[in-house]
Each structure stands twice: as structure tokens, then as C-alpha cells.
């Protein structure tokens, strides 16, 4: 009984697939109706698709309602969706900032707030998404990096505030070859090459094999003694201390 934002495609699609294969039911919230309907057909019993823009608070409320009415309860939340534009910071417009902060930070907060009462009942877990781009300060990623680091800050506070209720909040920073990354690879081939060459495990991750299992671990009781952490699922690229 897990909500996955951006759950129709990319890493989110892989999460929906892997979590349901492991027995969970998933409400996949996504703005892409075609991809959402496609993924729902893979397992009609365990996947419910909700079309919506995660930057709108009502969508978070609707997702929680849907999870409870369809599957009886909510045990996990994955804030995976995030849209942004890559530009030098001097060229970023107000709209660019609000796209990244709306779909990244605000959406993460809206879904956490909407899910909190249900997660409290079940000692649930939240997994939010950060990025190596935020940790390293990657060029042309100002609006994205700032929103991602804000998500990590929010996650640490929630980990402390919600620990008494038994709700755990952790962050995953993935590195995986998805459509979003493929577009970035086409627009910024030099930057892509630089990143790929620096990955110790020498390849971009596979969303289903390399990223989804890390998220599944953070949602499961196997990680019951972990909260407020950032896990790098990036082939060893960045080592946190």
C-alpha cells in the first residue's frame, strides 16, 4: 500500500513494477496519462493510476484517499516525481524556479502532510528523492540542486519530528538511465560523458535492478533502525561521510 509519485515511467515506473512484484499495492501518481494507463494494465489488481500534477496539493490528498479506499491502508510514500530545466543560473526564470520547487520540494511536502495521518496508523515509511547534482553543485542545475537539497533538509527534520510516531523518512540519490537522463545525455553530451566515466561501478544504473531494490529496502522492516539518512544508489560515484 504505497504511493509512488511519478510512478508511471522512469525510476518511478520501475518502482511501481518492482514493489508490486514483491507483493505491495501501488497508487502511481503521474501527469503522463498514457504511461499511467499502460502501467496500470500490467497489474490491474495491485496498481491504481491517478492522473495529476504533484505540484497541486489536492492531488496529494486525492492520492491518499485513493490508497485507503482501494487498498485499505497506506504504509509507504515515495516522492519520486521532479521536473526541472537545466540552464546557467543567471538565465533561470521565475517559472523555471517554480517548476523545480513546485514539483520537487512543494510536492514532497504536500504528499508527506497528506500521508502523515495514515502513515502514523501503520508506522509507515517515506522515501524522498535527492540527487548527486545537489550534493556536487552540478553546473546548469541551480533550480534542481537547490530543490533537491531542500528536500534532504525537510527529510531530516521530518525524521526527527516523526520518529516518536514510528514514521521513518529517508532519502535516495539515484543514478539511472531513464528517459529524463537520455534527454540530458543528448543536450549535454560532454557532461554525460564526464559523469559516466567517474562511476566506479562503471555504468549508469538500471532502474529496476539497481534503484528500486534500495527503495524497497527503505520501505521495509529491514531498515527499521534507519531514519534521516541519505543513501547513494549511484554505482559508488559519491561517498557520503
Active-site positions read 144
Edge-to-edge strand order for the sheet containing 168-174?
A: 47-51, 26-30, 2-5, 76-79, 125-129, 168-174, 230-233
The three grid cell numbers given for residue 203, joined into one nine-digit string: 555504468
Contact pick of 86, 141, 178, 227 for ligand NAD (by CB under 6 A): 178
Contact pick of 11, 24, 48, 126 for ligand NAD (by CB under 6 A): 11
Number of residues that bind ligand NAD (CB under 6 A): 30
176 lies in the binding site for ligand NAD (CB under 6 A): yes
Contact pick of 1, 2, 3, 12 for ligand NAD (by CB under 6 A): 12
10 lies in the binding site for ligand NAD (CB under 6 A): yes
140 lies in the binding site for ligand NAD (CB under 6 A): no
State which residue has the least CB distance to ligand NAD.
10
Q: Give whichever of 108 and 120 is closer to ligand NAD, judged by the CB atom.
A: 108
Contact stretch for ligand NAD (CB under 6 A) within 29-37, 38-46, 70-78, 88-96: 29-37
Contact stretch for ligand NAD (CB under 6 A) within 37-45, 90-98, 124-132, 217-225: 124-132
What is the rounded distance in angstroms from the CA atom of residue 217 to the CA atom of residue 2? 13
Contact pick of 2, 54, 77, 92 for ligand NAD (by CB under 6 A): 54
195 lies in the binding site for ligand NAD (CB under 6 A): no
Q: Give whichever of 180 and 213 is closer to ligand NAD, judged by the CB atom.
A: 180
Q: Give whichever of 72 and 94 is closer to ligand NAD, judged by the CB atom.
A: 94
Contact pick of 17, 75, 100, 131 for ligand NAD (by CB under 6 A): 131
Interacting residues with ligand NAD between 196 and 235 (CB under 6 A): none
152 lies in the binding site for ligand NAD (CB under 6 A): no
Contact between 215 and 172 (Cβ < 8 Å): yes
For the bound state, the minimum distance from the C-beta of residue 145 to ligand NAD, rounded and expressed in Å, comes to 10
Convert the chain into a string of H (helix), E (strand) and C (coil): CEEEECCCCHHHHHHHHHHHHCCCCEEEEECCHHHHHHHHHHCCCCEEEEECCCCCHHHHHHHHHHHHHHHCCCCEEEECCCCCCCECHHHCCHHHHHHHHHHHHHHHHHHHHHHHHHHHHHCCEEEEECCHHHHHCCCCEHHHHHHHHHHHHHHHHHHHHHHHHCCEEEEEEECECCHHHHHHHHHCHHHHHHHHHCCCCCCCECHHHHHHHHHHHHHCHHHCCCCCCEEEECCCCCCCC
Contact residues: ligand NAD, CB under 6 A = 6, 8-12, 29-32, 35, 53-55, 80-83, 103, 129, 131-132, 173-176, 178-181
Amino acid at each position: 500500500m504505497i504511493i509512488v509519485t511519478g510512478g508511471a515511467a522512469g525510476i518511478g515506473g520501475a518502482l511501481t513494477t518492482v514493489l508490486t512484484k514483491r507483493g505491495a499495492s501501488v497508487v502511481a501518481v503521474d501527469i503522463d496519462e498514457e504511461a499511467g494507463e499502460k502501467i496500470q494494465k500490467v497489474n490491474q489488481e495491485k496498481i491504481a493510476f491517478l492522473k495529476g500534477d504533484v505540484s497541486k496539493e489536492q492531488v496529494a490528498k486525492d492520492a491518499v484517499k485513493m490508497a485507503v479506499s482501494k487498498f485499505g491502508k497506506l504504509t509507504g510514500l515515495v516522492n519520486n516525481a521532479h521536473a526541472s530545466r537545466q540552464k546557467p543560473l543567471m538565465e533561470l526564470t521565475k517559472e523555471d524556479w517554480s517548476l523545480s520547487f513546485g514539483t520537487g520540494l512543494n510536492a514532497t511536502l504536500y504528499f508527506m502532510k497528506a500521508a502523515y495521518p495514515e502513515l502514523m496508523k501503520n508506522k509507515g515509511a517515506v522515501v524522498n528523492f535527492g540527487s548527486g547534482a545537489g550534493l556536487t553543485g552540478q553546473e546548469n542545475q541551480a533550480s534542481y540542486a537547490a530543490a533537491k537539497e531542500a528536500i534532504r533538509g525537510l527529510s531530516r527534520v521530518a525524521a526527527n519530528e516523526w520518529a516518536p510516531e514510528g514514521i521513518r523518512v529517508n532519502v535516495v540519490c539515484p543514478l539511472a538511465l531513464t528517459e529524463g537522463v537520455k534527454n540530458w545525455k543528448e543536450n549535454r553530451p560532454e557532461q554525460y560523458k564526464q559523469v559516466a566515466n567517474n562511476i566506479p561501478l562503471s555504468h549508469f544504473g538500471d532502474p529496476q535492478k539497481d534503484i528500486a531494490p534500495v527503495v524497497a529496502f527503505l520501505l521495509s522492516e529491514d531498515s527499521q533502525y534507519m531514519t534521516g539518512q541519505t543513501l547513494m544508489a549511484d554505482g559508488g560515484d559519491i561517498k557520503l561521510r
